[in-house]
Structure 1
């Protein structure tokens, strides 16, 4: 995952950058984390970020938390995992506690409800934008496109639970990958 021409982040880099992602990640931190890790810091490229996300989805808990732990651990071991996850959740925890107090005091006000309602399309747009960026790093072949479409249909249209989609799509993806590799190998005459 670490290319020779990339600067390996220090513990402070991990803590500070993930803390900023957590602080400014209103509407969902995944778009901000991707922007920080891929575009600004260039710690990983689109394909590597997609691999981190895919790996993070297999573990319980928030995907972004899992990404922090995996990436931090790969860069700086156990200390890297800890500072990354603490950085990510430090400010959101403080803000959420304060927002909880404010919610109980001012939620009955129409203006406050309108502000929170206005944030919804922004959060949705951020997630859609991140999805489109993740698609750029996805291999372009029939196998990948097929699994992508099937996954979308199962979760987006049929509304199956995530565990069921994974139970269906992981074996399907592995089988298609195996078949694709077998066809490519036979096609080369080897």
Structure 2
């Protein structure tokens, strides 16, 4: 489905769907956002979601918050940005405040500690699943593979801060796209 063929979500649809993502996104909101935007609502395809994520990572703050603002703004202007971000954070804010009260009251109970410990592998699995789906939507060329591997090494193995990774990988990606004829041709250049 072409982006121009998609129905633009209303303000209510932006608010409601991002609110549901926030409500059900325990342990990691990104997989739920991707599922809602790509699979269920078909607001964007895999490549468009990857582009939103990439853009969202460039700005400070939580990636999913940035995605909701960028997408909401594209669809319904400033009002769309506002309702998307308010929807996304409404339920998590309420739940976190209530959990904070419960945490201070019942943290010494062994079962509560076990529940919090059990969430970590679930959150990790959700993020890994989202990563694998994003990999599926990436262009298949040497340029993309090189930038992916270098980014993984810099973040996963060398544990460099994000700003440093961006300072290295953005110019590298731009240079490789300029030097790789197939990548330039796919963007309409000769």
**Which range, TM-score by smaller chain?**
over 0.9
TM, length-normalised to structure 2: 0.94
In structure 1, the residue matched to 2:13 is 13
- Helix, strand or coil for the counterpart of 1:4? helix
In structure 2, the residue matched to 1:135 is 135
Change (3 A) 1:94 1:146: same
TM, length-normalised to structure 1: 0.94
Q: CA deviation at 1:181?
A: 3.1
Q: CA deviation at 1:163?
A: 1.1
Change (3 A) 1:182 1:5: closer
Q: Distance in 1 between matches of 2:86 and 2:183?
A: 46
Q: Distance in 2 between matches of 1:183 and 1:169?
A: 16
> Size of the alignment, in residue pairs?
185
Q: Distance in 2 between matches of 1:56 and 1:129?
A: 19
Q: Deviations over 1:157-182 (max 9, x none)?
A: 11111111111111111110110038
Change (3 A) 1:120 1:183: closer
Q: CA deviation at 1:5?
A: 2.0
Q: CA deviation at 1:110?
A: 1.0
In structure 2, the residue matched to 1:34 is 34
Aligned pair 1:174/2:167, yes or no?
Answer: no
Q: Deviations over 1:116-145 (max 9, x none)?
A: 111111000000000000001100000000
Q: Does the 8 A contact of 2:31 with 2:127 survive in 1?
A: yes
**Structure 1 residue ranges without an equivalent (≥5):** none
Q: CA deviation at 1:22?
A: 0.1
CA RMSD in angstroms comes to: 1.4
Q: Does the 8 A contact of 2:11 with 2:79 survive in 1?
A: yes
- Helix, strand or coil for the counterpart of 1:26? coil
Residues 67-76 or 173-182, more deviating: 173-182
Q: Distance in 1 between matches of 2:140 and 2:117?
A: 37
- Which of structure 1's runs of 4+ aligned residues deviate more than 6 A? 182-185
In structure 2, the residue matched to 1:99 is 99
